[in-house]
Amino acid sequence: MSESYGDTPMRFSGLTSRIAGKSADSWETHYEALARSQAGEDIIMLSVGQESDQLTDDRIVEEAVQSLRSGRHHYTPVQGELALRKAIAARHSELTGQYANEDQCSVFSGAQNALFAVSQCVLEHGDEVILVEPYYSTYPATFSCSGATLVSVRPSSNMQINPEDVTGAITDKTRAIVVNSPNNPVGSVYTREQYEPIVRACSDRKIWLISDEVYLEMLAPEDRVSPAGLPGADEICVTVSSLSKSHRMTGWRVGWAVGPRELMQHLYNLTLCMIYGLPPFIMDAATFALQMDSNIADIVRESMDRRRKIVAGLLSGLPNVRILPASGGMFAVLDVRNLGTGSMEFTRRLLDQYRVSLLPCDGFGDSGEGLVRISLAVEDGLFEEACQRIRAFVLGLSAIRTTNQDG
């Protein structure tokens, strides 16, 4: 007779605890707001980096439709169609200044998938990975899934990367450093002078440098700097990007990694047992998007810059809060620490009282606590209305705080 375990619960792996926590919790307000909005509430969604009022270019959509109708719906090369990898290599070379060919490119289901795959191939238990704060909220789970230990480096007072702090955090266990410019959430843009000592340290000590560049193309050409294009980067740098932001293709899920050929072989083996390639009609549309004559990224940048001015005009100078300076990306960040509320409480109360959804930055590292992220990706009129609601909420909280202090 077999032994009975009665009410013993089913067991889950230790991985489940590594992918939970603050980073996952930070999205709760967004998904609650999304559900309420879909149920008919008048909620302005500023909690996600997606231009909800804009569609993918009709020419890209038509390319996908024609590809699908022509029978392009079977299995594809696991690492990505050759034409797409050539187009990625050409775009990477143009943006970063680092020459790459198709053998150095692997296609994934978005940049998030690419980051996860890269982490699985370069990190393991006992390694350390350095993350520069504030970092995107999925980074802790993405990189700790490998078993590696996260080492956070706080930014400077103006939310910039300090290369001496980054290189000073390197130990004998360090196997990777992760950078993201323009930064999500704060929009900081890193310079060649900031990258150079980090690239040198990684090259000297054989440390992987993983560069998340999903917002890079949205910068003006003269402001684009990638560590991949610096001397010594060829053997150690892995560049991750996608079409989501630059081409308004968030739901198409097309991303990639560019790096040394040996790494691409390992990524190929992992992709075999993970996604087994993207749909061919999606890759045909992605190839077309990369090769078409387009200024979509410039238009997106102009929209984001315009809304940065709107949010600065309406929220700068308010008591107990400040808008952090930003040079790129799709977000503005509001520092609410002097209001006496945490990021999570601020966003929840704002949603309930003024029906605006923002993202708390608690899950973006310790330096994100007390900060809230404001997406710039809605049309100007709606964005201005959202800022007016945020303004009224902040003024109300400040008045209560002043009354309590006086009492």
- For residue 347, the domain's CATH number is 3.90.1150.10
4 pLDDT band, cuts 50/70/90, is low
pLDDT digits 0-9 by tens, 97-136: 999 999 999 999 999 999 999 999 999 999 999 999 999 9
Which of 249, 283, 289, 217 has its CA nearest to residue 79?
A: 283
Q: What is the pLDDT of residue 8?
A: 83
Task: Name the strand (E) or helix (H) holding 327.
Answer: none
Which residue, of 291, 306, 334, is where some domain finishes?
291
Residue 315 lies in a domain: yes
**Low-confidence winner among 10-24, 31-45, 103-117, 213-227 (lowest mean pLDDT):** 10-24
Average pLDDT over residues 13-25: 80
pLDDT digits 0-9 by tens, 41-86: 999 999 998 888 899 999 999 999 999 999 999 999 999 999 999 9
Which residue, of 291, 318, 353, is where some domain finishes?
291
Q: What is the pTM of this model?
A: 0.94
Q: Are 174 and 188 part of one and the same domain?
A: yes
Tell me whether the omega of the peptide bond preceding residue 155 falls within 30 degrees of 0, making it cis.
no
Q: Are 84 and 50 part of one and the same domain?
A: no
**1, 18 contact by CB (below 8 A):** no
Three-state SS at 373: strand
Which of 353, 372, 355 has its CA nearest to residue 364?
A: 372
Q: Are 141 and 233 part of one and the same domain?
A: yes
15 pLDDT band, cuts 50/70/90, is confident
Q: How many domains does the chain have?
A: 2
Q: Are 302 and 191 part of one and the same domain?
A: no
CA distance linking residue 284 with residue 194, whole number of Å: 37
Which residue, of 243, 260, 291, is where some domain finishes?
291
Q: Are 218 and 356 part of one and the same domain?
A: no
Q: What is the pLDDT of residue 210?
A: 99
Q: What is the pLDDT of residue 401?
A: 73
> Which residues form the domain of 358?
22-55+296-406
| Better-predicted residue by pLDDT, 93 or 11 | 93
**372 has a pLDDT exceeding 70:** yes
Q: Residue 234 maps to which CATH number?
A: 3.40.640.10
pLDDT digits 0-9 by tens, 243-263: 999 999 999 999 999 999 999
Tell me the HSE value of 193 on the side-chain side, using a 13 A CA sphere. 2
